Each structure stands twice: as structure tokens, then as C-alpha cells.
Amino acid sequence: MTWNWEQDDWPNFSYDSSALKGFEEQFLHRSGLLFGAYKHINDEEKDTLKVDLISTEALKTSEIEGEFLNRDSIQSSIRRNLGLETDNRKIPPAEQGIAEMMVDLYRNFAKPLSHQTLFAWHKMLTSGRRDLKDIGRYRTHADPMQVISGPIGKEKVHYEAPPSTSMKAEMQRFLDWFKKTGPKGDEPLPALTRAGIAHLWFVSIHPFEDGNGRIGRALAEKALSEYLGHPALIVTSQTIQTNKKVYYAMLEQSNKDNEITEWLKYFSKTILEAQDETQTQIDFLIAKARFFETFQLNERQKKAALRMFKEGPKGFKGGLSAENYITITGTSRATATRDLQDLVLKGAFTKTGEFKSTRYYLKVKKE
């Protein structure tokens, strides 16, 4: 097998820019809509959205790599790093590390990309690790850097990256390109095109012992943020995680050839889907604010509604039952029945089913 980096045209990727034009236009249009919607929520809601989106990315970019972290710990660490009010819980190293990296990406997206930036991110990601030789620097091991699957003795090699001896040269060439193709560079590229190439190129080099996928996805977000002039704040990793097999299949397909139109089309569609999901979350926050402005609720009703809103745009799984309401509010069955009937009469909740099958749902108005 001849890998992309072994071919004569590496790393001069080729692609059909006309096939990407529509995606680039949609990205800019949706970015404008997101920015406009973002201005319609108050500062507290902006902080909530910021923490939710960053923590979702931190959680999902880790899950893509098979690492399942604690959301509450990640959110607590993010709030602490952003200077927001939080609890004083002890944060495990993995959660703290990914939170620090994502906050650094959010705060410093406009700073030039350097070896030192990447080394710092790698140190954050590998916080607490004792199994790696090279932390906060490019890999140096003599063994081939391979992406493999399958049991021992029957491994399948999906990709073999350039040798460790070439890392400094490969990464310097990558950094030079990243600077040159930025919005203020000598050869600026459209947003999605640059972000898609950056991600594929970086993971093709695979410069670190571990963490290459997470850093590669962060680089794509940095490229988009640089183009927009503000943090992109979209749930790219959540969108990828939803259909992870396709993501890995596209990466594998694209590491054998330097004609990458299909990769860039896939990547562009993924970013547009991520924008849609972010728009849904902003709309949900606006709807939540209007809900509490519209309806006068007692403390029990408010507590139950807040618990339901906590589940996000997809709502309370299976609907809210009277038993759920009693558990959440600590009230009696008779009071729960009166409260729920009142919420339906006010138009705050909708009701489905009868008797033990009765379920209640938030009635939120969407834009």
C-alpha cells in the first residue's frame, strides 16, 4: 500500500473547488443567522450556551476516540477556566485536560498556530498519563505509527503515518501552510476548504503518540473561527460521533490519495449539520426564556419545568409522568395532580395518554 504522504504530489492536495462553492456559501449564510440569534439571548444565557457547547465538544471529541468522560466534571472545569461560578469538586486529570484545551481554543483562536501551541494542547490532553514517552512534543519512537484494528495476530492496518524522524519537517510545512492560507495570509482559502484540509493533513502526519484526532478536530474549529473572526462554537464532534463509522471510513479512503474532493464534501456537510444543531440549541434557549416570561408558575411547577428544560431540545425522554413530578418536587400526589392540570390549562404543558399512561411535555414556541 502506498499512503498519501509517500506519493509525489504530497502534500499538494487537489480538489474540485466548484463542488464546494455551495457548501461555502451555506456556511457563511448560516454563520450570520447563528450570530444574529446569539445576540438575542442575555449574558447569563450566553454563558450557559457557551459552557454547554464547549463541554459537548469536549465530551464527544473524547468519545470518538473511545474515551468516555464525566460531563459534570468537564462543565465544572470549563466554568472554572472561564471564570464563571462553579462548585469546588475535584476534577479528574482527563476531564480537566480536555476542558483546558477547549477553553484555550475558545479564548485564543486568533493567535498564530505554532509548535508551542500544539505542544501545550498535547500536554493538556495527556494530563495524568504515564504510558506515553513523548508528552508535549512530537513523537520520537522508531516503530511505525500505525492505525490498526482487530485481534493480535490478525491486525488490519488502516493507515501508517510518516516516520517519527520526519515530524519536525512535516509539521513546519503544515504550520507554514496554515499561516499562508489564513484570512490574513498570502493565499487565503475558503473556510470549509481550509478547515477540512487542516484536519486531514494533520491526522495524516499523526505527529503525537496519542491525541491526534482530538487536536485535529480542534484545528478545524480554529480554522473556522479565524475565518469568522469569533469562536465558531459549533458541535462538530457531536455530529461526527453520531455517525462515527462514516467519519473513519472517509479518513481511511482519503489517506490513499491526495485528490480529496470527496473528503471535503463530507467534511463540509458535517459542519453544516453542526451549525444546524447549534441553531437548535440557541432557539431552545430563547424559547426557554420566553416560557418563563409567559407563564406565572409556582415554585413546584418552576422546579419541574427547569428539570425538563435541562434535558435540552429533545426533551424529557418518554415525557413527564405524575410520579416524575412527585419525585422532582417532593410534593403529594393530590398537589401534583392539581399542579399538572393547572400547567395544561395555562398552555405551559401538553398532555398525552390517560391514567397511568398520562405524560406531559413542555409546550415551547419556536421561531
Which grid cell sits at 163? Answer: 516516520
* Strand ranges (E), 69-155: 146-149
Q: How many angstroms separate the CA atoms of 226 and 135, rounded?
A: 27
The pLDDT tens digits along the chain (367 residues) read: 899 999 999 999 999 999 999 999 999 999 999 998 888 888 988 998 999 999 999 999 999 999 999 999 999 999 999 999 999 899 999 999 999 999 999 999 999 999 999 999 999 999 999 999 999 999 999 999 999 988 888 889 999 999 999 999 999 999 999 999 999 999 999 999 999 999 999 999 999 999 999 999 999 999 999 999 999 999 999 999 999 999 999 999 999 999 999 999 999 999 999 999 999 988 888 899 899 999 999 999 999 999 999 888 878 889 999 999 999 999 999 999 999 999 999 999 999 999 999 999 999 876 5
Listed in sequence order, the residues at least 6 apart from 366 whose beta carbon sits closer than 8 Å to its beta carbon are: 283, 287
- Residue 34 CA, chain-centre distance (Å), reads 16
Q: How many angstroms separate the CA atoms of 154 and 148, rounded?
A: 10
- Assign 3-class secondary structure to 221-237: HHHHHHHHCCCCCCCHH
Q: How many angstroms separate the CA atoms of 163 and 240, rounded?
A: 28
Q: How many angstroms separate the CA atoms of 250 and 196, rounded?
A: 12
- Burial of 6 from C-beta contacts in 10 A (0-12 / 13-18 / 19+): exposed
Q: What pTM did the predictor assign?
A: 0.90
By DSSP bridging, strand 146-149 and strand 359-362 are unpaired
Give the amino acid at 22.
G
- Cell 498519501 sits on residue: 4
CB 28 within 8 A of CB 206: no
Q: What domains does the chain contain, in order, with CATH numbers?
A: 4-284 (1.10.3290.10), 296-362 (1.10.10.10)
